[in-house]
Amino acid sequence: MQPQAHIEPSTAPTPTGLGTPHEITHGPSFAMLRVDLQPGVTVVAEAGAMVARSEQVSMEVKMNASPSASFFAKLKAFFIALIRKLIGGETFFVNHFQSSQPGSVWLAPTMAGQIAYRRLHGEKLTLSTGAYLAHVGALEMKMKFGGLKSLLAKEGAFFLELGGEGDLWFNSYGGVHAIDVDGSYLVDNGHLVGFEGNLTFTIKGAGGGLMGLVASGEGMVCEFTGQGRVYIQSRNLGSLVGWLTPLLPG
């Protein structure tokens, strides 16, 4: 029997002294994040995520690479970003928000759903790239390629591996659910938000054989083996497109 832990992402305002003060409102369907900035704090967020800000908060565009990265690491990040842009991935730029006086910035992702908060204490968490929203602190962000087969998957070609000490906010399309894996578990690529723990994964076609791959309509799945936790979202952009396409005019 597989134990199932269902996490309710924290949506209450943070108690002072614990992480960056913030509040997640309008969850679970159209969650929006408000981060309260003090002087000296920088909020890094995915480009395009800003909804509103106090006038005194400044915004600067930067490339999505670790602050301590070397020149070559930055160049590598640049090329990975170009490839992602060619496949149709989202922009690789981030915005840095800072304020010399107290102020707030409101952030929201593109698709409907939840925002989850996680305080990282040195452990690693891997997110599918669309799931990253914002972070505060010295987090290491490494772009990982999912392998050649993953290119066929449209979504999920790249993953973001995060580690270090800091506050992280990630989003899901629809609701987010945690599944504790002990053995093997298959997850449709488009429904994967992230994972952590001692897990390895391979990307494969969903069903058995050629008929299964083409006809099942399932697309690619990630097969996880080991012990750890997988986060899934209750909607999938590819399925939305698949459902809508026959209903389009012409």
Partner 1 sequence: MRYELKDKPDFTIVHVDFEAPGEQILVESSAMVARAGGVGMQTQMKGGLLAAAKRKMLGGESIFQNTFTSTEAGQDLWLAPGPEGDVELLELDGRSPVMLSSGAFLASAPSVNLDTKWAGSRGFFSGQGLFLLKAEGTGPLFFASYGGIHAVDVGPAGYICDTSHIVGFTGGLSYDVTKVGGLKSLFFSGEGLVCRFTGHGRLWIATRNPGALASFLEPYRRVERGSN
Partner 2 sequence: MEVEIAYRPAHAMARVVLERDESIVAESGAMVGMSTNVQMQTQSGGLMKGLKRMFGGESFFRNTFTASGGAGEVLLAHSLCGDMVAMEMTPTGYFVQSSAYIASTPNVNLDTKVGGFKTFFAGEGVFVLKATAAAAGKLVVGAFGGIQELSCDGNLVIDTGHLVAWDANLEYTVGKSGSGWIASFLSGEGLVCHFHGQGRIWIQTRNPAEYGTTVGRMLPPKKR
Give yes or no for residue 217 binding partner 1 (CB under 8 A): yes
Q: Among 29, 38, 100, 227, which residue interacts with partner 1 (rule: CB under 8 A)?
A: 29
Minimum gap (Å) between residue 228 Cβ and partner 1: 14
Quick one: 93 or 243, whose CB is closer to partner 1? 243
Minimum gap (Å) between residue 28 Cβ and partner 1: 7
Q: Among 9, 21, 28, 146, which residue interacts with partner 1 (rule: CB under 8 A)?
A: 28
Give yes or no for residue 215 binding partner 1 (CB under 8 A): yes
- CA–CA dist 68, 111 (Å, integer): 31
- CA–CA dist 28, 19 (Å, integer): 22
Minimum gap (Å) between residue 237 Cβ and partner 2: 7
- Render 191-250 in DSSP notation, one character per residue: GEEEEEEEEEEEEEESSSHHHHHHHS---EEEEEEEEEEEEEES--HHHHHHHHGGGS--
Quick one: 17 or 217, whose CB is closer to partner 2? 217
Quick one: 108 or 116, whose CB is closer to partner 2? 108
Quick one: 89 or 103, whose CB is closer to partner 1? 89
Quick one: 31 or 192, whose CB is closer to partner 2? 31
Is 191:236 a contact under the CB 8 Å cutoff? yes
Q: Among 41, 69, 83, 112, which residue interacts with partner 2 (rule: CB under 8 A)?
A: 112
Question: 159: how many CB neighbours lie within 10 A of its CB?
Answer: 21
- CA–CA dist 43, 41 (Å, integer): 7
- CA–CA dist 156, 80 (Å, integer): 14
How many binding residues for partner 2 (CB under 8 A)? Answer: 38
Instruction: Please tell me whether residue 183 adopts helix, strand or coil conformation.
Output: strand
CA separation (Å) from 114 to 24, 164, 193, 195? 9, 23, 11, 17
Give yes or no for residue 55 binding partner 2 (CB under 8 A): yes
Q: Where are the alpha helices (DSSP H) in the chain?
A: 71-87, 148-151, 209-215, 237-244
Give yes or no for residue 235 binding partner 2 (CB under 8 A): no
Quick one: 59 or 186, whose CB is closer to partner 1? 186
Q: Among 43, 177, 178, 193, which residue interacts with partner 1 (rule: CB under 8 A)?
A: 177
Q: Among 11, 14, 54, 66, which residue interacts with partner 2 (rule: CB under 8 A)?
A: 54
- CA–CA dist 158, 190 (Å, integer): 12
Question: Taking contact as CB under 8 A, which single stretch among the options 7-15, 41-49, 129-137, 187-195 is the one that binds partner 1?
Answer: 187-195
Task: Return all residues near 127 (Cβ < 8 A) that are at least 6 apart.
Answer: 159, 160, 162, 170, 193, 194
Give yes or no for residue 86 binding partner 1 (CB under 8 A): no
